[in-house]
Amino acid sequence: MTLQMPDTQQALLKILSDGAFHSGESLGECLGISRAAVWKQLRQLDSYGLEVERHKGRGYRLAGGLSLLDDEVILRHISAPARASINRFSLFAQMDSTNQYLLEHLDHGHVCLCEQQTAGRGRRGRQWISPYGSNVYLSIAWGFSQGIAALEGLSLAVGVAVVDALNSLGCHDVSLKWPNDVLVNKQKLAGVLLELAGDASGDCFVVVGVGLNVNMPLLAGRAIDQPWTALQHLPGAEVNRNLVAARLLQALLLLLKNYEGQGFKHYRDRWEQLNAHKGQQVELLSPGKSVVGNMLGVSETGALRLEVEGREQVFLGGEISVRPR
């Protein structure tokens, strides 16, 4: 489900995007509506998770301002070879989930971004907190012809591509928690969700979804159920969302273009370098099951290698957490 923001609200956001105070009267004049109608429109902005400050005598402001996504700017910052693999580019104000949209509009090279997700999906049925105009939520649909087997390890390789993009944006000391949580200082900065559609043994599509915290409003951040961070908290990191989105797309498109030929073996060493838990005692949790072991690394297909009671075991699914010694 997609929803275009009503014109008046878009105009209101444009005025407030400078981060300065605007009186109710001047907003009403600019928008050609009464002060009561301005008040109503401002209240509706709350539903986008935006925090409009109200100060007696000074008016209203969006603290910190807002810079909105712009498809032309994003595309301009993507290199020609990566841009050539984009067949369709969809940018929305608000929608349930960019992954869901692409699953319903499957098209090789279809890229989708939005300002806000009302039902952003995380791994293992979690919600991905996606307030308006603050972070990057993007998905790419990609068709593969050699069946699911050729995609082994892809979700880990996507994590590597996200880290490469982050490094190019001045964000360093990034690590990966198996399979693909992107961490800085043990806090989650970005998440990756791959969803499959089509024939497991032949033509199939993968929707690669990435959510990256850039300027997470504190109020929205309180709803996140795990330690998190955002680029705004990392000194030296770029926070221009158009540029951040462009770098992510660039890295992901080039990865997808080459993956069937290269496979995970091309990314395995790099993944191991980024492994947040190498040599640590971890607990692997999957529905109804828990295994504790020493994190050895990943196999050539991206499976988790754990040493359990002196013997190596390999696991395909689940989520790890660190065990205090």
Active site residue 188: yes
211 touching ligand BTN, by CB under 6 A: yes
Query: Could you give the count of Cα atoms lying within 13 Å of 270 in the half-sphere of its Cβ?
Result: 16
126 touching ligand BTN, by CB under 6 A: yes
Active site residue 323: yes
Q: What is the DSSP string of 123-173?
A: GGG-B----TTTSEEEEEEEEESS-GGGGTTHHHHHHHHHHHHHHHTT--S
| Beta carbon of residue 112, minimum distance to ligand BTN (angstroms, whole number) | 8
In terms of Cα–Cα distance, which of 317, 308, 316 is closest to 287? 317
> φ and ψ at 42, to 5 degrees?
-65, -40
Q: Indicate if the alpha-carbon torsion angle 69, 75, 79, 82 is positive or negative.
A: positive
268 Cβ contact list (under 8 Å, min separation 6) = 153, 298, 300, 302
224 touching ligand BTN, by CB under 6 A: no
Active site residue 305: no
Residue from 123, 126, 257, 278 carrying the catalytic annotation? 123
Residue whose CB is less far from ligand BTN, 42 or 138: 138
What one-character DSSP code corresponds to residue 22? B
108 touching ligand BTN, by CB under 6 A: no
Binding segment (CB under 6 A) for ligand BTN, from list 64-72, 185-193, 277-285, 291-299: 185-193
Residue from 188, 241, 247, 268 carrying the catalytic annotation? 188
**In one letter, which amino acid is 25?**
E
- Runs of H (alpha helix) within 188-315: 218-221, 241-262, 265-274
Binding segment (CB under 6 A) for ligand BTN, from list 27-35, 56-64, 115-123, 240-248: 115-123
Q: Which of residues 45-84 bind ligand BTN (CB under 6 A)?
A: none
**In one letter, which amino acid is 73?**
V
Among 90, 94, 116, 117, binds ligand BTN (CB under 6 A): 117
What one-character DSSP code corresponds to residue 33? S
Binding segment (CB under 6 A) for ligand BTN, from list 148-156, 187-195, 257-265, 292-300: 187-195
**Tokens representing residue 10 in the block:** 């878009």
Among 59, 120, 131, 179, binds ligand BTN (CB under 6 A): 120
| Beta carbon of residue 97, minimum distance to ligand BTN (angstroms, whole number) | 3
Residue whose CB is less far from ligand BTN, 63 or 316: 316
Residue whose CB is less far from ligand BTN, 208 or 303: 208
Binding segment (CB under 6 A) for ligand BTN, from list 21-29, 74-82, 137-145, 272-280: 137-145
Among 59, 179, 209, 217, binds ligand BTN (CB under 6 A): 209
Residue from 40, 76, 88, 323 carrying the catalytic annotation? 323
Query: Could you give the count of Cα atoms lying within 13 Å of 147 in the half-sphere of its Cβ?
Result: 4
Question: Number of residues in contact with ligand BTN, rule: CB under 6 A?
Answer: 20
216 Cβ contact list (under 8 Å, min separation 6) = 129, 131, 134, 135, 224, 228, 230, 232
Among 90, 98, 155, 242, binds ligand BTN (CB under 6 A): 98
133 touching ligand BTN, by CB under 6 A: no
State the Cα–Cα distance between residues 286 and 60, nearest whole angstrom: 48
Q: How far is CA 257 from each of CA 33, 39, 67, rounded to the nearest angstrom?
A: 50, 49, 30
Q: Which residues are catalytic?
A: 123, 188, 323
Q: Which stretches of the chain bind ligand BTN, using CB under 6 A?
A: 97-99, 117, 120-123, 126, 128, 137-139, 181, 191-193, 209-211
